[in-house]
Amino acid sequence: MNKKKEFITENCEQTEKIGEKFATLLRGKATVCFYGDLGAGKTAFTRGMGKVICPNADVCSPTYSIINEYKEKGKTVMCHVDAYRITDSDDLYSTGFYDCIDYKDCITVIEWSENIPYAIPDGSIKITIEKLGENKRKITVYGYPCEE
């Protein structure tokens, strides 16, 4: 059963570590939607996920490319989407977003999910990151995968 789980981190490295642990619990295809202000830690969390999902990749923000695809053994295993500059559904369609969410056994990570509520698949995991201070963050995961 999926559940809500909260974390407090004191720095970027701790946020990445939470992302790593979270990624170890994902099985097969999943969509992870981030919500939070600029500089909250969405990319740091995603970098942590990438260390587990695609350890040979240098995961970075796709701010200008909109989507970064990461492959392992020739197969796309993670799509990292930055919807910050998406203004409408035509914009989103032109990025190849819908191809990403259709990939089999691929984790799709979406930053700025609030900009594309119409495109978020049912059953997506939602993560909010709140700034509690310069480096301190409150991370809330809705739909946290259960540890086995």
pLDDT digits (tens, 9 = 90+) for 74-109: 889 999 999 999 989 999 999 999 999 999 999 999
CB 100 within 8 A of CB 70: no
Q: How many CA atoms lie within 13 A of 35 on its CB side?
A: 13
Taking a C-beta distance cutoff of 8 angstroms, is the pair 126, 143 a contact?
A: yes
Give residue limits of the domains in the chain: 3-138
- CATH fold for domain 3-138: Rossmann fold (3.40.50)
Would you tell me how many other CB atoms lie within 10 Å of the CB of residue 96? 13
Closest CA to 33 of 45, 24, 21, 25: 45
In the predicted model, residues of the chain with pLDDT beneath 50 are 1, 148
pTM of the model: 0.92
